[in-house]
Amino acid sequence: MLKPGDKAPAFTLPDQNGNAVSLSDFLGKRVVLYFYPRDNTPGCTRQACAFKEAYDDFHREDVVVIGISKDSSASHRRFAEKYALPFLLLADPSRATLEAYGVVKEKTMYGKPVKGTSRTTFVIDQNGVVEAVFPDVSPDQNAYEVLSYLTDNA
């Protein structure tokens, strides 16, 4: 997994509307990049809604919030519309970006090993460098934990 001081891996992924979004689009701004397992699951919905509730505070800090999962753009669009999510959701069905950020982990499901996404959040600084890493986060506390970090380290 990446650690503070590492260069954030570049990516270009489609958002919930099918538009290509690159990390480099946000140079000069801090970016909160949160990786989550799947749209419309209980934990992922709580996490997304917590980021939505805190979105105005992130916006005041001039911070971009982006969620990434292996789900498709169409799935992200339905998820964003259902919960009125005001931030970008990026689709990584190939898992290339998930792998580059080190958030694909082996888990056990029904006694069988499967690869899944570890709920992890990165703060990327204005120069595209990893500033902070929040591994294995709580979906209910993640947004507020990151916001507290950002306001303490403005």
Sign of CA pseudo-dihedral 21, 136, 86, 3: negative
CATH class of 12-152: alpha beta
Q: What is the pTM of this model?
A: 0.95
pLDDT tens digits, 86-99: 999 999 999 999 99
Q: What residue segments make up the domains of the chain, in order of their start?
A: 12-152
pLDDT tens digits, 12-47: 999 999 999 999 999 999 999 999 999 999 999 999
149 to each of 44, 48, 154, how far by Cα in Å? 21, 18, 8
> Could you list the active site residues?
44
